Structure 1
């Protein structure tokens, strides 16, 4: 595996001769704008065999086959690349938030990275959370700090049960004339024990507990069989600093970050043949099979 081939896949031409948060930002941005989060193989017309996790297979799939991956595939390829470049990287298991039970579901595995620099600053780094989350790394251990980037305003805070919780401020969604079509703040919902206030949504949580590689391998198998997000519908997501576009089921959505509190939305329903063409032209993915989406928009990928 050659890291230069991954740079080419990412269209990254920036500096690599030293480590810094500015370079890390650009690496993450290049990654998410060229390598999609996707769950397409889970929704092939004919069921595809469950794959064990293998870094070389993932590299070949992403770099040579021009495909994307789920959170484990994307973040572990990023981890490999950053270590090659001399970054101090640690990997931990995260868990998606279960709204109904107000907890972090251990059937909702996620993988996160922490990058620590010589100045002691540690940054939460994640290129694999399906588009609803941050693009640029978030500074750890400053729980009151609201960290703004074009895709939203975020914070990371440690709770008494040991979970570090990532939150995002609710945003307005507007149409092309900037008329509000969806206000995401849920005024009638009970406040979660992990929420700062009703102005914030819980994204995911993680603990600083080291897990053996076998646990990540098991999580990868589950992501293909019964993970409540990756097996709910076919997804393909790309984003850059100011935009996000994705396929969710039969719906194609384009979002523009007007500012950190407002998203402009365009969406349309598509036939299966149109989905295949969008994947080819917009995501660079050439599928060798017919997709079989389940529903339209079952989950919040805002």
Structure 2
């Protein structure tokens, strides 16, 4: 099955050149992140998000919804492949908030994208991380190369590993320090592995997505709704925090500020 590219481009407000170039990849990634929010509402209401392409198109493109990493990056990978890019999928371990020495499961999906006709290294692409430190543009997969894209700085570093495959770590510049976002090895993730990781995230009793977690990146800043706590980060770095009053307040906020029409039964906590 293929994605209706016309409807997808309308959803993200993009009308650029459809040739599979690096410039097109950059503008598509930025447009996608700004247009489609990060959210885990399906998990909160007790269902496992479908990664079937038809379901993703109905939800993220035709519907007033968003999704989390597996949904975003599965949809985006399909769009890129239809345009002629080469796409390889990797599962990764989220390192934000991890304790020293903690090894988390592979519960994140990232993409390595090759521009046809180019001898350059593939680019790391991720439209499903969602945070204020997430990439807004592709990052060359060259260790140590710092890329500034849309005001955010990222780099990849290599770590020695116990196994044969080196570990790549995506880092973001935050203030005066580099922080680790996600690590991965360049082992292609087949659909079955991605499905298992998606099921684990949605059903494990200790999954962080058992509570409502919604993010949206705007040109002027960033919004995060964690349960009933709303955090606004302005483009100049100013942060304000407020509490949302109950389920009805959450529903109204989702509709007005996140552009999401939530299903019945949405609650801030499960």
The DSSP-based 3-state class of the residue aligned with 2:107 is strand
Q: Tell me which residue corresponds to 1:166.
A: 170
Task: Tell me which of 223, 234, 237 is aligned to 2:201.
Answer: 223
Counterparts of 1:7 and 1:288, CA distance in 2: 25
Query: TM (normalized to structure 2)?
Result: 0.88
Residues 93 and 238 of structure 1, relative CA distance in 2, 3 Å threshold: same
Q: 1:281 aligns with which of 256, 266, 269?
A: 256
Distance in 2 between the 1:229 and 1:138 partners?
A: 28
Instruction: Describe the SS at the equivalent of 1:105.
Output: coil
* 1:253 pairs with one of 225, 231, 234: 231
- Deviation digits for residues 92-124 of structure 1 (CA, Å, limit 9, x no counterpart): 111112622524411x51110011221323210
Q: How many residues end up aligned between the 2 structures?
A: 259
1:260-279 → structure 2 map (5 Å cutoff): 263-272=237-246, 273-279=248-254
- Alpha carbons of 1:209 and 1:170: their partners in 2 closer, same or farther (altered >3 Å)? same
Counterpart of 2:27 in structure 1 is 26
The CA distance in 2 between the partners of 1:274 and 1:230, in whole Å, is 22
CA RMSD of aligned residues (A): 2.1
Alpha-carbon distance between aligned partners in 2 of 1:152 and 1:78, rounded to the nearest angstrom: 21
Instruction: State TM-score, norm by structure 1.
Output: 0.79
Q: Which runs of 5+ in 2 are unaligned?
A: none
> Structure 1 residue runs of 4+, over 4 Å off?
227-230
- Identify, as 1 or 2, the structure richer in helix: 2
Distance in 1 (alpha carbons) for counterparts of 2:171 and 2:208:
21
Distance in structure 1 (CA, Å) of the matches to 2:63 and 2:103: 34
Match of 2:99 in 1: 100
Corresponding position: 1:211 with 2:189: yes
**CA separation of 1:151 and 1:102: change in aligned 2, threshold 3 A:** farther
Q: Counterparts of 1:14-53 in structure 2 under 5 Å?
A: 14-16=16-18, 18-44=19-45, 48-53=46-51
In structure 1, the gaps of 5 or more residues are: 172-184, 186-198, 296-302
Matched residues in 2 for 1:5 and 1:270: separation? 33
What's the secondary structure of 2:189's corresponding residue? Answer: coil
Aligned to 1:154: 154
Deviation at residue 86 of structure 1 after TM alignment? 0.9
> Does residue 233 in structure 1 map to residue 211 in structure 2?
yes
Cα 1:166–1:229 shift into 2, 3 Å: farther
Q: C-alpha distance in 2, partners of 1:145/1:51?
A: 35
**Mapped partners of 2:26, 2:228: distance in 1:** 32
Give the 3 Å change call, closer, same or farther, for CA 100–294 of structure 1 in structure 2.
Answer: same
- Is 1:292 matched up with 2:267? yes
Contact between 1:155 and 1:167, CA under 8 Å: does it hold in 2? yes
Question: Is residue 180 of structure 2 the alignment partner of residue 202 of structure 1?
Answer: yes
